[in-house]
Structure 1
Amino acid sequence: MRILHTSDWHVGKVLKGQSRANDHIAALKAIVDVAEAEQPDLVIVAGDLYDSASPPADATKIVTRGLSALRKTGADVVVIGGNHDNGQALDALRPWAEAAGITIRGALTRPEELLLAGSTKGGEQWRLAALPFVSQRYAVRAAEMFDLSAAESAQSYAHQIGGLLATLAQGFGRDTVNLITGHLTVIGATMGGGEREAHTIMGYAVPASVFPSSAHYVALGHLHRAQAVNGPCPIRYSGSPLPIDFGEEENFSAVAVVDVTTGTAARVREVSLPVATPLRTVRGTLAQLATLDTGDAWLRVYVSEQPRAGLREEVQELLPRALEVRIDPKLLPDSAAAGRAAARAGRSAGELFSDYLGQKGHADEATVRLFHRLHDEVQEARN
């Protein structure tokens, strides 16, 4: 059978006040074009269809039209919720989706709901364990729904995810193509630059060993860089179909096309996607910036000039598509950028939240204290 694997659309993204709607429409059209050319039996969208849990109406229109167009190519379409999505809101679309022949699993539910089955036009049978994003807070509820033991439910997040996947994999057959899709961070994979940090580090990373060797292919979402991950079975992130923010401007935009049978290993091809409006970072003095031809790209500009009133306006007059203008960190000896460049792995949730407030210009000790109190309450409830 043939699978088209995509994820992390982030429809509804606004970059420094600039809507990306036209870019998303172009990206989804490109994915549909690939589906029409490749004629997959199954399309998997591995989470983060939206950029926020409360997407605007036009974002929902873009997503539903994109899913409908993929279904019209003749493929089965399966969608799971990601950490940016509102899982319950996605599940509210299930009546529409089922009428259109699209399967949505937005939030965690019982195992029998998450193990999907189907067959290709040629009669090849497949099973798909569809695991939406599971937060640490709801991992305990997941353990209850999956009837895990008290000892199993008290394990770490990684152990709990492994337990959920092992339960789902019990439904795999010897004569079926066995697939998994999830929205997870796997240890050893490379972040793409635009992921939500609190859901990629701390206790959220899982080892590749959580995936059973009985799986023929694991289609992941969450990390925005297309990449394979070493593990007991073929594991892959499709990456985002367009750069989400300036940290991803060098990412390769693609979908994965996978050919697999019950008796052969998965063969994966990356099919590149055009990016309607690229993102680009430029640096220089005003004189140097004035010589640049940046085309239609949205720009992040690092100005090699000392700070002064009106400098931002001068830059934007030279480069009208500059969405972000900053002084080059090299000219700021005590730049906050140096601190943000420090390794974040292993830092507490409170430290990350405090840094986030500072970066947004909203540093406030009372808010940080409230965050700590709420975080402690959640941890106590979890324990």
Structure 2
Amino acid sequence: MKILHTSDWHVGKVLKGQSRYEEHKRVLGQVVEIARAEHPDLVIVAGDLYDTAAPTPDATRLVTRALTALRGSGAAVVAIGGNHDNGPALDALRPWAEAAGIVLRGSVRDNPAEHIVDGVTADGERWQVVALPFLSQRYAVRAVEMYELTAAEAHQTYADHLARLIGRLAEGFTEPDRVHLLTAHLTVVGAAVGGGEREAHTVLGYAVPATVFPGTAHYVALGHLHRSQKVHGPCPIRYSGSPLAVDFGEEENVPSVTLVEVTASTAARVREVPVATAVPLRTVRGTLAELAAVDPGDAWLRVIVREPPRAGLREEVQDLLPRALEVRVDPAMLPTPASRARAAQRAGRSPADLFGDYLASRGQADDGVRELFGELIEEVDA
């Protein structure tokens, strides 16, 4: 059978105030075109369909249309919720999804059978997917108890709970003559972050070892980390990565979807198909004179400007580079810790004096900023 694995769409993403809706339309349109050209038996969307737990109507419309179009390609479609998604809200869409022939699992349910999906390809290959949405630490213990496993001890880790759940859900993976698949939205120890993930859900207790996955799985389709990559473990494990660079930390990533060909008796063969319809992200550095010579093309820019901080600097940069979404002063141009250490005496001093000391400590001796502050003080006094 052939599987198209994708994840981390993050529809609804706003990058430094810039909507990426039109980019997402093109990107998901290309993903659908790939499905139509490759004729997969199954499409797996491994979480983070949305960028926010409260998506706009436009974002919801785009995601539901994309899922419908993928189903219309002739493939079965299984999609799970990620840490950015609102799991219960995705579950509320299940009646629509079921009517459309789509399997949608937003959150962990109290019935293990809810997370086990069986199917047969047009050529008669039997398959089974364990679909495990993102599970927060707070609900991990409760989920273990729902499945009547051994009560979790207080000292046990998130990884312990995930291993128990996956072991329970994958009990049928010993059955021969069937392709056993698992999809989840989580962080595996040793995998490389893409650069735009939500940090609290990728570090500390949220990272699990690859050994939580059963060696009898033919393929594990992961979401959460935005860089496409293989993970070493007891079975074939892979992140598909995001089909577009979500933030500037991901500008070196190659957006793609993953195609997998596998049978019950042969190893998974994997290849990546690039998705190149999103606007590229670039970071550029230099003085104003150097930035004036930059040709950004159609990229969105993050600019690291090598000039001392001053009022109006951002506007000057954006006049030179209108596609600059983020402007930062190079840290080397900021005041030294010694200069910041000068503290002003507060007693008996006016707000204007104190603000003047603050500007001096930040290396911004700018009379224009002082005058603006003075106008604000006058408005407050009035």
Q: Which residue matches 1:76?
A: 76
- 1:139 correspondence with 2:113: no
- 1:61 correspondence with 2:86: no
**1:238 counterpart letter in structure 2:** S
Q: Which residue matches 1:273?
A: 275
TM-score of the superposed pair, with normalisation by structure 1: 0.86
The equivalent position to 2:307 in structure 1, one of 305, 308, 322, is: 305
Provide Cα deviations, 1:86-126, integer angstroms capped at 9, x if missing partner.
Answer: 00000111111111111000000121100110000011100
Matched-pair contact (CA < 8 Å) for 1:152–1:159: no
The equivalent position to 1:264 in structure 2, one of 263, 266, 286, is: 266
**Compared CA separation, residues 13 and 230, structure 1 to 2 (3 A):** same
Q: Which residue matches 1:381?
A: none
Distance 1:191 1:257 in 2: 21
Q: Which residue matches 1:23?
A: 23
Q: Which residue matches 1:238?
A: 240
- 1:41 correspondence with 2:41: yes
The equivalent position to 1:314 in structure 2, one of 310, 316, 338, is: 316
Deviation at 1:23, TM superposition (A): 0.9
Distance 1:277 1:151 in 2: 46
Distance 2:336 2:79 in 1: 46
Unaligned runs of 5+ in 2: 338-382
Deviation at 1:2, TM superposition (A): 0.2
Deviates more, 1:324-333 or 1:256-265: 324-333
Distance 1:187 1:142 in 2: 22
Distance 1:250 1:156 in 2: 33
Matched-pair contact (CA < 8 Å) for 1:221–1:239: yes
Q: Which residue matches 1:286?
A: 288
Secondary structure in structure 2 of the residue aligned to 1:292:
coil
Q: Which residue matches 2:201?
A: 199
Distance 2:285 2:239 in 1: 32
Q: Which residue matches 1:182?
A: 184
Q: Which residue matches 2:51?
A: 51
Secondary structure in structure 2 of the residue aligned to 1:22:
helix
Residues 345-356 of structure 1: matches in 2 within 5 Å? none
**1:19 counterpart letter in structure 2:** S
Distance 2:192 2:304 in 1: 26
Deviates more, 1:209-218 or 1:164-173: 164-173
Matched-pair contact (CA < 8 Å) for 1:7–1:221: yes
**Compared CA separation, residues 256 and 316, structure 1 to 2 (3 A):** same
Matched-pair contact (CA < 8 Å) for 2:301–2:326: yes
Deviation at 1:278, TM superposition (A): 0.8
Matched-pair contact (CA < 8 Å) for 2:141–2:152: no
Deviates more, 1:239-248 or 1:150-159: 150-159
**1:60 counterpart letter in structure 2:** T
Secondary structure in structure 2 of the residue aligned to 1:150:
coil
Q: Which residue matches 2:112?
A: 111
Matched-pair contact (CA < 8 Å) for 1:283–1:301: yes
Secondary structure in structure 2 of the residue aligned to 1:203:
helix
**Compared CA separation, residues 80 and 317, structure 1 to 2 (3 A):** same
Q: Which residue matches 1:341?
A: none
Distance 2:268 2:147 in 1: 29
Distance 2:222 2:154 in 1: 24
Matched-pair contact (CA < 8 Å) for 1:126–1:179: yes
Secondary structure in structure 2 of the residue aligned to 1:194:
coil
**2:150 counterpart letter in structure 1:** S
- 1:160 correspondence with 2:164: no
Deviation at 1:296, TM superposition (A): 1.1
Unaligned runs of 5+ in 1: 336-383
**Compared CA separation, residues 303 and 70, structure 1 to 2 (3 A):** same
Secondary structure in structure 1 of the residue aligned to 2:277:
coil
Secondary structure in structure 2 of the residue aligned to 1:98:
helix
The equivalent position to 2:256 in structure 1, one of 254, 257, 260, is: 254
Q: Which runs of 4+ in 1 moved over 6 A?
A: none
**Compared CA separation, residues 334 and 118, structure 1 to 2 (3 A):** farther
**1:69 counterpart letter in structure 2:** A
Matched-pair contact (CA < 8 Å) for 1:253–1:275: no
Secondary structure in structure 2 of the residue aligned to 1:259:
strand
